[in-house]
């Protein structure tokens, strides 16, 4: 059991799911209340990581954000290194990769809030933002926890993107899924088994929390 | 519905048919082998499917029952292990080349490789150095051995990034994400990379010989076709193609003396 890889992955997943709360809530808010005709295009874009192979994302991160692209050069001048092979690179990759797993539950729970409550809040003088903070967010607690937990679990199990842009550096980019892969490839089955079992248990607990909280079958899908 | 089912059956049927062999090959062959196969297919009409990976990974897949007919390894040790385990036929083992490790930098690199040699890795402009994963890839082990041979391993260890196989290590440096790479000569000579950078050959005495060997696997149901393909590998046509990618046996003598 590689504890270094384990804690690295927990740190990555924790950071990514916390950031996704901050990034995901405004996006979900907009998706719920916007009346823009072409909103479905944004909804489709947010859902893309669910269907795209991680290799597509890995490829873009590596090449489009590499030292040959303007964006990559800008990042390099800012930080002194490319995005690949760094913890930040994994964070950015995971943010995109897990975005729908946060935004969709958020948007679903915002959309489920009774509109009469919103009108009541507005008639009492609250601005839309105050209404959102005082009425929608507290009612949507289960959805927020669901989004946090799912993006945490999803990042925990991320493999393809990390394999493509991580460079397998111990303590920096060697996540638990990469560690399992290495163990299996070197026929070190007992170590792979231990790590896999722990990952299985954690994922099961996280999903149990999600289902327990929602008390009805939950599936990933483009609804709101 | 029935029509659809019939179509599906037809499609899957055509894929499963024929004497087509499946070759598992070390990643350093991923530019040369498709060309060799093209020549083979043109000559014999038989088709060959290719699957690339690191030799260690492929060996493990073969142990777990992967349906390959022939195995090209970047380290003869793996086929030898498979022979010992009864998974490959000893009489088919064929050493076709000695693999070479090179230090590769992209064109825009300021490093003067001819002057600095391996010491180029100590320059400040080199951030990350890509090598293949030493646990599964022979070129990764060779890279590690060479760095230790030149006694710079400890100085560069913190800057190494590991490719899943030597091809990925090459891609890391080709794409500019790493500033230098210890990769296979065959990649440096391949059309995809040839004009994009320059290389310095690591002296053969700096790392254990990368004896490249092919073998027919015992579980193969297409033994004849598999042997026929390995026969083709010995033809002048195939050996000259291999030589274009830096694969020849000239380092072989050195390695046998050492062992």
Determine contact, residues B54/B136, Cβ cutoff 8 Å. yes
Q: What is the pTM of this model?
A: 0.80
Percentage of chain A surpassing pLDDT 90?
A: 47
Domains B19-98+211-258 and B99-206 share a fold: yes
DSSP B73: E
Average pLDDT, chain B: 89
Per DSSP bridges, beta strands B21-26 and B48-53 are: parallel
Residue of A nearest to B133 (CA): A168
| Partner B contacted by A82 (CB < 8 A) | yes
At B11 the pLDDT is 53
Enter the tokens of residue A133.
């903070």
Backbone angles phi, psi at A77, to 5 degrees: -70, -25
At B18 the pLDDT is 57
At A128 the pLDDT is 85
Determine contact, residues B170/B55, Cβ cutoff 8 Å. no
Residue B125 pLDDT more than 70? yes
Model ipTM over 0.90 = no
Among the partner-chain residues B56, B136, B161, the one whose CB lies closest to the CB of A167 is B161
Residue B251 binned pLDDT confidence (cut-offs 50, 70, 90): low
CATH topology (fold) of B19-98+211-258: D-Maltodextrin-Binding Protein; domain 2 (3.40.190)
At B131 the pLDDT is 97
Average pLDDT over residues B154-180: 93
pLDDT single digits (tens) A11-63 = 999 999 999 999 999 999 999 988 899 999 999 999 999 999 998 988 888 87
Residue A125 binned pLDDT confidence (cut-offs 50, 70, 90): confident
Residue B113 binned pLDDT confidence (cut-offs 50, 70, 90): very high
Q: Do B130 and A169 touch (CB under 8 A)?
A: no
Chain B residues within 8 A of A84 when measuring between CB atoms: 161, 172, 177-178
CATH architecture of B99-206: 3-Layer(aba) Sandwich (3.40)
Per DSSP bridges, beta strands B160-163 and B129-132 are: parallel
Average pLDDT over residues B119-129: 92
CB proximity list for A85: less than 8 A, separation 6 or greater: A165, A166, A167, A169, A172, A173, B128, B161, B172, B177, B178
B175: closest CA of chain A, how far (Å): 6
What are the residue ranges spanned by the domains of chain B? Answer: 19-98+211-258, 99-206
Residue B84 pLDDT more than 80? yes
Q: Do A85 and B60 touch (CB under 8 A)?
A: no
Q: Which residue, among B184, B214, B218, has the nearest Cα to B202 in the 3D structure?
A: B184
Q: Do B175 and A63 touch (CB under 8 A)?
A: yes
Measure the CA–CA gap between A178 and B87, rounded to whole angstroms.
28
Residue A171 pLDDT more than 70? yes
Between A64 and B93, whose confidence is greater?
A: B93
Mutation site for A-interface testing, chosen from B63, B129, B177 by largest number of A Cβ within 10 Å: B177
CATH architecture of A3-31+53-214: Orthogonal Bundle (1.10)
At B257 the pLDDT is 34
**DSSP letter string, chain A:** --HHHHHHHHHHHHHHHHHHHHHHHHHHHHHHH---TTHHHHHHHHHHHHHS-HHHHHHIIIIITSTTSHHHHHHHHHHSS-STTSHHHHHHHHHHHHHHHHHHHHHHHHHTS-HHHHHHHHHTT--HHHHIIIIIHHHTHHHHHHHHHHHHHHHHT--HHHHHHS---TTTT--HHHHHHHHHHTT-HHHHHHHHHHHHHHHHHHHHHHHHHH-S-----S--
Q: Do A187 and B135 touch (CB under 8 A)?
A: no
Residue with tokens 């060779």: B142
Residue B10 pLDDT more than 60? no
At B85 the pLDDT is 95
Residue B17 pLDDT more than 60? no
DSSP B87: S
Chain B residues within 8 A of A186 when measuring between CB atoms: 56, 60, 135-136
pLDDT single digits (tens) A179-219 = 998 888 777 888 899 999 999 999 999 999 888 887 655 45
At B24 the pLDDT is 94
């Amino acid at each position: 059991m590689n504890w270094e890889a384990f804690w690295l992955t927990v740190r990555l997943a924790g950071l990514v799911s916390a950031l996704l709360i901050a990034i995901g809530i405004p996006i979900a808010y907009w998706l719920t209340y916007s009346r823009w005709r072409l909103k479905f295009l944004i909804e489709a874009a947010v859902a893309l990581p669910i269907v795209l192979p991680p290799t597509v994302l890995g490829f873009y991160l590596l090449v489009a954000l590499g030292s040959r692209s303007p964006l990559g050069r800008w990042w390099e001048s800012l930080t002194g290194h490319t995005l690949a092979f760094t913890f930040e690179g994994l964070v950015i990759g995971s943010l995109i990769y897990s975005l729908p797993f946060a935004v969709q539950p958020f948007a679903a729970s915002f959309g489920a809030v009774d509109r009469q409550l919103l009108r009541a809040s507005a008639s009492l003088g609250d601005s839309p933002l105050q209404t959102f903070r005082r009425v929608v967010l507290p009612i949507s607690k289960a959805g927020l926890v669901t989004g946090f937990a799912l993006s945490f679990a999803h990042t925990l199990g991320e493999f393809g993107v990390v394999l493509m842009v991580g460079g397998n550096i111990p303590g920096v980019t060697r996540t638990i899924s990469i560690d399992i892969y290495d163990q299996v490839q070197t026929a070190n089955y007992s170590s792979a088994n231990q790590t896999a079992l722990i990952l299985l248990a954690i994922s099961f607990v996280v999903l149990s929390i999600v289902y327990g909280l929602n008390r009805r079958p939950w599936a990933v899908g483009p609804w709101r | 519905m029935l029509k659809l089912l019939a179509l599906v059956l037809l499609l899957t049927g055509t894929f499963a048919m024929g004497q087509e062999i499946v070759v598992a090959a070390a990643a350093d062959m991923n530019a040369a082998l498709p060309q060799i196969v093209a020549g083979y297919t043109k000559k014999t009409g038989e088709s060959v499917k290719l699957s690339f990976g690191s030799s260690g990974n492929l060996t493990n897949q073969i142990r777990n029952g992967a349906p390959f007919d022939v195995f090209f390894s970047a380290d003869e040790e793996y086929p030898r292990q498979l022979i010992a385990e009864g998974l490959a036929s000893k009489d088919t083992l064929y050493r076709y080349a000695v693999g070479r490790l090179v230090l590769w930098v992209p064109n825009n690199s300021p490093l003067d490789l001819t002057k600095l040699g391996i010491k180029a890795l100590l320059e400040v402009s080199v951030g990350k150095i890509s090598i293949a994963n030493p646990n599964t890839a022979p070129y990764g082990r060779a890279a590690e051995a060479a760095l230790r041979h030149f006694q710079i391993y400890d100085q560069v260890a913190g800057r190494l990034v590991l490719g899943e196989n030597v091809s990925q290590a090459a891609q890391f440096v080709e794409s500019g994400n790493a500033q230098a790479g210890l990769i296979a000569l065959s990649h440096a000579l391949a059309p995809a990379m040839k004009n994009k950078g320059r290389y310095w050959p690591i002296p053969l005495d700096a790392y254990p010989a990368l004896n490249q060997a092919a073998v027919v696997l015992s579980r193969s149901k297409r033994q004849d076709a598999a042997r026929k393909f390995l026969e083709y590998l010995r033809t002048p046509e195939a050996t000259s193609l291999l030589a274009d990618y830096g694969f020849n046996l000239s380092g072989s003598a050195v390695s046998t003396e050492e062992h």
